[in-house]
């Protein structure tokens, strides 16, 4: 006698679509709704009203009129492309008001299959947030939360090239916290970190919006000053000096006076690259430290720039 086995029941296509972790919506060629799976409902089953035609969704997904007009124009350009080449999947990504009332970044992938319009929806909000944070972390010094050396050099080289093209002035400052080793040896590295953070904060409060501040490493900082002559940069350097040193730093269980030395240089026609200007700014900084610290020295100025 032959042995009989029960054949397991296969799930329906509808059940499989509902089980997918991504949204699936199906419309006819005129965008009348045929099917939404559960993941799509989680995104766009608004309590306001049911959506029977795709055009009824726009006002719910994009309450702001100008943004809605912009996205609709993009959408229909892509729909026209999908009609012209049904084999090509179109991809759009927009910041959309979803069922929960919150803004989500949703990626839309769609194409025509004969007379059927197939739309796949992916909520990429968290992915984009993480990508943005990773890009931010790649440019930021984690201790001070100002720009790091790598980002500063990228921005500064771009500014140098632009200054060469436009013949606009460009200046650089380099800054060093005086006797920082003594701070670390006397109070510990935790207080040393607090001093670096506090100096960065005071620099940021003193500088102009167009200036670019970065921590170059240790207790060293640099400031890029686009559109700024040597005279203007020197005046700003002294304002920076006063902003950092005029009052003691108020740290946990400690008030501490700090001193800084500042060197500066304006980009000159003979500078073959940004590195040449930065070298002259560093040379001015070393001159300030050799002269007793607690001062500003500017390389590109004739005469003595170390007097306040």
In the sheet that holds 220-226, the strands lie side by side as 212-217, 220-226, 170-177, 260-266, 296-298
Any residues with CB less than 8 A from the CB of 237 and at least 6 apart, and which?
173, 262, 264, 296, 298
The rounded distance, in Å, linking the Cα atoms of 168 and 128 is 37
- 3-class secondary structure per residue, 192-203: HHHHHHHHHHHH
- What does the pLDDT read at residue 294? 95
Which is nearest to 155 in space by CA: 145, 166, 140?
140
20 in Cβ contact with 106 (< 8 Å) = no
Is residue 6 very low, low, confident or very high in pLDDT (cuts 50, 70, 90)? Answer: low
| Beta bridge mates, 147 | 140, 214
pLDDT digits (tens, 9 = 90+) for 142-186: 999 999 999 999 999 999 999 999 999 999 999 999 999 999 999
- What does the pLDDT read at residue 254? 87
247 in Cβ contact with 281 (< 8 Å) = no
259 in Cβ contact with 219 (< 8 Å) = no
Radius of gyration, CA atoms only, the chain: 30
Is residue 9 very low, low, confident or very high in pLDDT (cuts 50, 70, 90)? Answer: confident
Show the DSSP H helices in the chain as ranges.
13-19, 38-44, 58-61, 65-84, 125-139, 149-166, 180-187, 189-206, 230-245, 274-290
Across the chain, what does the average pLDDT equal? 92
Is residue 302 very low, low, confident or very high in pLDDT (cuts 50, 70, 90)? Answer: very low
What's the mean pLDDT in 211-227? Answer: 97
- What does the pLDDT read at residue 301? 64
What's the mean pLDDT in 189-215? Answer: 96
Enter the DSSP assignment of 32: B
24 in Cβ contact with 119 (< 8 Å) = yes
- Could you give the 3-state DSSP secondary structure of residue 169? coil
What's the mean pLDDT in 125-130? Answer: 96
The rounded distance, in Å, linking the Cα atoms of 131 and 116 is 34
Read off the tokens for 108: 């839309």
Read off the tokens for 254: 């400690």
| Beta bridge mates, 248 | none
Read off the tokens for 158: 């771009």
What's the mean pLDDT in 72-81? Answer: 96
Read off the tokens for 244: 């950092």
Any residues with CB less than 8 A from the CB of 40 and at least 6 apart, and which?
23, 24, 25, 121
- Could you give the 3-state DSSP secondary structure of residue 129? helix
């Amino acid at each position: 006698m032959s042995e009989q086995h029960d054949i397991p029941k296969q799930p329906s296509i509808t059940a499989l679509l509902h089980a997918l972790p991504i949204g699936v919506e199906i419309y006819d060629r005129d965008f009348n709704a045929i099917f939404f799976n559960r993941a799509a409902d989680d995104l766009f089953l608004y309590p306001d009203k049911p959506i029977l035609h795709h055009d009824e969704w726009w006002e719910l997904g994009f309450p702001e009129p100008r943004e809605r007009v912009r996205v609709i124009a993009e959408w229909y350009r892509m729909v026209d492309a999908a009609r012209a080449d049904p084999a090509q999947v179109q991809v759009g990504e927009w910041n959309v008001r979803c069922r929960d009332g919150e803004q989500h970044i949703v990626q839309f992938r769609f194409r025509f299959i004969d007379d059927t319009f197939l739309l796949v929806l992916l909520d990429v909000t968290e992915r984009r947030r993480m990508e943005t944070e990773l890009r931010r972390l790649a440019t930021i010094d984690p201790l001070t939360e100002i720009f790091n050396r790598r980002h500063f050099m990228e921005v500064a080289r771009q500014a140098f090239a632009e200054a060469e093209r436009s013949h606009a002035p460009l200046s650089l400052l380099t800054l060093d916290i005086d006797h920082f080793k003594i701070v670390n040896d006397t109070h510990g590295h935790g207080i040393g970190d607090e001093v670096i953070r506090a100096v960065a904060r005071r620099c940021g409060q003193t500088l102009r919006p167009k200036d670019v501040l970065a921590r170059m490493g240790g207790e060293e900082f640099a400031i890029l000053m686009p559109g700024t002559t040597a005279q203007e940069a020197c005046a700003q350097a002294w304002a920076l000096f006063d902003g950092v040193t005029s009052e003691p730093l108020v740290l946990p269980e400690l008030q501490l006076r700090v001193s800084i030395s500042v060197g500066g240089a304006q980009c000159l026609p003979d500078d073959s690259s940004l590195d040449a200007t930065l070298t002259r700014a560093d040379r001015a900084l070393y001159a300030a430290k050799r002269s007793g610290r607690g001062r500003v020295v500017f390389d590109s100025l004739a005469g003595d720039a170390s007097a306040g």
